[in-house]
A and B are shown apart, each in its own frame.
Chain A
Amino acid sequence: MKKNNKSALAKEVVIFVMPLLILYFIFFILPFFMGTYYSLFNWDGISKTKEFVGLKNYIELFTDDPDYFKSMVFTLKYVVLNVLATNILALLLALIVNSKLKSSKFLRTCFFLPNVISMLVVGYIWRFVFNQGCAAIYEITGWDFFNTSWLGGGNVTVVAMVIVATWQSVGYIMIIYLAGLQMVDTTLLEAAAIDGATWFQKFRNVTFPLILPSIGVNLFMVLSQSFRLFDVNLSLTGGGPGRETMGLALDIYTEGFQNNRMGYGAAKAVVLFVIVIAIAILQLRLTNSKEDA
C-alpha cells in the first residue's frame, strides 16, 4: 500500500512538475552554466576548437580593456541617476494620483501609458523628440537649452537616456507606490491633521515611515533593471558615438554577435550576472535584518 502511494506520488510529480522543469533546465540552467564554461576559453563561437585560457578573459576585462572600463563607468552613472530619477518621480506621481482629485484616474492612465510601449519604440520616439522636437522648440524659443546635442555623447547623453528610461518605467513603479500609499491608515493622517500638521509634516512623519517597504522594493527593482539597460540603449544611441554610450548589456551582445568573441562576451555576461546577484543578495539581507529587528 505504502509502495503504491509512493509510485503514485512519483507519477504525479512527473506529470505536474517535470514538463516545466525540463524546459527550464534546457533553456535556462544549461545556458547559464555553459556561459560560465565558455568564459574560460578563447573562442569565436563558431569554430570547432576552442583554446582554454583559464581566467585570462577576466584579467583582460579588468586590467587591459579601456573600452570595457568606459562601459562600466557609463553604466554606473546611468544606474545611479536612473534609480534616483525614477523613484523620486514615481513617488511624486503616486502622491498626486492618490490625492483626492476628480481626475486621478485620468492622471494615472496618462502617467502609466508610456509603460505599455516597447522600450525599443520608446527609444525611437525620443530620438525624434531629441532631434526634430528640440530643434523645433529651439526655433520657436531660441533657448540654447534646446539646441543641446542630446545624443552626441558625454554626460548629456547619459541624462538623455535616463529621461527616456524614466519616462517609460515611472508608471510601473508609481503603481507599486500607489499600492503602498493606499495601505496607509487614513485615520492616522486625520489625527495628524487635527493636531495641526502641515502636508509636509504628515508626509514625513506618517506616510513616509509606512511606505518604507515599498521604497525598498522599488529601489532594488529599478536598480537591477537599470543594469539590464539594452533596448533603449540600442534604439536611442546604438552605443555611439563610437563606443561612448555602450552599456554593459549591449556590450555583451556586440561582443558575442558582432565581434564574434564568444569567450570574452561570456566573461562579460558572468560579470553582469555577479553584479545583479550581489544586489539581490544585499536586498535579501537588508529586508531580513529589518524583519529580525
Chain B
Amino acid sequence: MGKAKKIRWTIYEIIMIVLAVAFIFPAWIVLTNSFKPLGEILSDTFGIPKSLFLDNFSYVLENMNYPRIFLNTVTICVCAIAVTVVLSAMCAYRLSRWNNKISKVILLVLMASMTVPFQSIMLPLVKICKNLNLTNSIPGLILILVPLYCPMAVFIYQGFIVSIPYEIEEAAQIDGCTRVQTFFKIIFPLLKPATSSIVVLFTLQMWNDFTLPMIMLQSAEKKTITTTVYAFFSSYSMRWDYALTSLTLSAVPMIIFFLFMQKYIISGIVAGSVKG
C-alpha cells in the first residue's frame, strides 16, 4: 500500500513538472530563438540554437536604443513609486486616524476609483496634459502615475495603520516630536512590510504598463521599454529574429526581478486582494 502510493505520487509529480515546463514553453522558444539567425528560426523553431549567435542582440540593443529606454523605465518606476508610497502613506495615516465622515467619504471615493477602467478617463486626460504641457515629458508622466496608483497603496496602508496602537504616537509626542516628525520617524518605518509589498507590486505593474506611456510619450528617446517594443515590432513584423530579440530584452529584467522577489510579490498580491 505504502509503496504503491509512493509510486503513484512520483508519477503524479513528474506529470506536473512536465506540465509546468510545457506551460512556460512559449516564453522558452522566444528566448532560444533570439539566439538563432532568421533561417534557423523558420527551419528549426523548437531546437536549441546550433551556435551562440549574438548578432540579433547587438543589432536590437543598438536600434532600440536599449540603454536609454531601460534608464527611462527605471527612472519612471523609481520616482513614481517613491512619490506614490510617501504621499499614500501620509494620506492613509491621516485619514484613518481622523476617522470621521469626511475621511470615510474620501476613502470610499478612492476605493471606488480602483474599479474605473483607465480607458474611461484616457481621452480627456490627454487633453488636460496637453493644456498643462505635460505630454512628451517624463516628469509629467510620473505626476500622472501617482494618482492612478495611489488608491491601491492607500488601501493596503490603511489596513495596516489600523493595527498600530495610538500609544506609540502619544509617547513620541510627549517626547517633543511634531506630527510630521512622528509620522516619518515612528509610523512610516513601522509600515515597512506594507511598503515592501507595494513597491514590488507597483514595480511589476509600472514596468509593464503600456497604454499610459504610449499616449503620453512620443519622442523615441523618451519612450519606455514596452512602448519601444510596440514601435519596433510594427516595423520589423517580417523579421522574427529582431522582433523576438526585442521581446526577450523586454521580458528578462522583470523575470530576474521576479525570481529574486517572489516572496514579496506573492504577499503583495494577497494583501491587495482582500477587498470588499
Does B82 sit within 8 A of A, measured CB to CB?
Answer: no
Contact with B along A113-152 (1 / 0, CB 8 A): 1101111110011101100110010000000000000000
Instruction: Out of A26, A27, A272, name the residue touching B120 (CB < 8 Å).
Output: A272
Give the CA-CA distance A91 to B21 in the complex, in Å: 19
Report chain A residues within 8 Å CB of B29. 128-129, 133
Instruction: Out of A31, A116, A118, A273, name the residue touching B257 (CB < 8 Å).
Output: A116
Contact in complex: A117, B122 (CB < 8 Å): no
With most chain B CB atoms within 10 A of its CB, the pick from A119, A136, A227, A272 is: A136
CB nearest to B258 among chain A residues:
A116
Chain A interface, number of residues (Cβ within 8 angstroms): 79
Contact with B along A230-259 (1 / 0, CB 8 A): 110011000000000000110011001100
Does A102 sit within 8 A of B, measured CB to CB?
Answer: yes
For window 102-117 of A, CB contacts with B under 8 Å fall at 102-103, 106-107, 109-114, 116-117
Does A16 sit within 8 A of B, measured CB to CB?
Answer: yes
Q: Return B114 CB to nearest CB of chain A, in Å.
A: 9
Does A266 sit within 8 A of B, measured CB to CB?
Answer: yes
For window 6-63 of B, CB contacts with A under 8 Å fall at 9, 12-13, 16-17, 20-21, 23-24, 26-27, 29-30, 33, 41-42, 45-46
Report chain A residues within 8 Å CB of B229. 118, 120-121, 124
For window 254-293 of A, CB contacts with B under 8 Å fall at 256-257, 262, 265-266, 269-270, 272-273, 276-277, 280, 283-284, 287
Give the CA-CA distance A5 to B12 in the complex, in Å: 67
Q: With A27-B128, A121-B250 as given contacts, are A228 and B94 in contact (CB-CB < 8 Å)?
A: no
Does A58 sit within 8 A of B, measured CB to CB?
Answer: no
Does B165 sit within 8 A of A, measured CB to CB?
Answer: no
Report chain A residues within 8 Å CB of B215. 257
Give the CA-CA distance A119 to B116 in the complex, in Å: 19
CB nearest to B180 among chain A residues:
A15
Q: Is the interface of A mostly helix, strand, loop or mixed?
A: helix
Instruction: Out of B87, B119, B243, B273, name the residue touching A124 (CB < 8 Å).
Output: B243
Q: Return A98 CB to nearest CB of chain B, in Å.
A: 12
Give the CA-CA distance A137 to B142 in the complex, in Å: 45
Report chain B residues within 8 Å CB of A196. none
Report chain B residues within 8 Å CB of A16. 90-91, 93-94, 183
Contact in complex: A176, B120 (CB < 8 Å): no
Does A221 sit within 8 A of B, measured CB to CB?
Answer: yes
The stretch of A32-40, A59-67, A187-195, A204-212 that contacts the partner chain: A32-40
For window 142-186 of A, CB contacts with B under 8 Å fall at 167, 172, 175-176, 179
Contact in complex: A231, B211 (CB < 8 Å): yes
Contact in complex: B276, A20 (CB < 8 Å): no
Q: Return A210 CB to nearest CB of chain B, in Å.
A: 16
Report chain B residues within 8 Å CB of A129. 26, 29
Instruction: Out of A17, A128, A172, name the residue touching B95 (CB < 8 Å).
Output: A17
Does B110 sit within 8 A of A, measured CB to CB?
Answer: yes
Instruction: Out of B26, B148, B179, name the residue touching A125 (CB < 8 Å).
Output: B26
CB nearest to A270 among chain B residues:
B120
Report chain A residues within 8 Å CB of B250. 118, 121
Sample of 20 A–B contacts (CB below 8 Å): A12-B94, A19-B91, A20-B146, A38-B123, A101-B13, A109-B262, A112-B262, A116-B255, A116-B258, A118-B210, A118-B229, A132-B42, A136-B45, A179-B270, A230-B211, A249-B119, A266-B123, A269-B121, A269-B122, A273-B116
Q: Which A residues contact B (CB, under 8 angstroms)? A: 12-13, 15-17, 19-21, 23-24, 26-28, 30-32, 34-35, 38, 45, 96, 101-103, 106-107, 109-114, 116-121, 124-126, 128-129, 132-133, 136, 167, 172, 175-176, 179, 217, 221, 224, 227-228, 230-231, 234-235, 248-249, 252-253, 256-257, 262, 265-266, 269-270, 272-273, 276-277, 280, 283-284, 287
User: Which 9 pairs show the lowest CB-CB distances between chains A and B?
Assistant: A118-B208, A16-B94, A110-B20, A34-B124, A31-B124, A136-B45, A273-B120, A24-B147, A256-B123
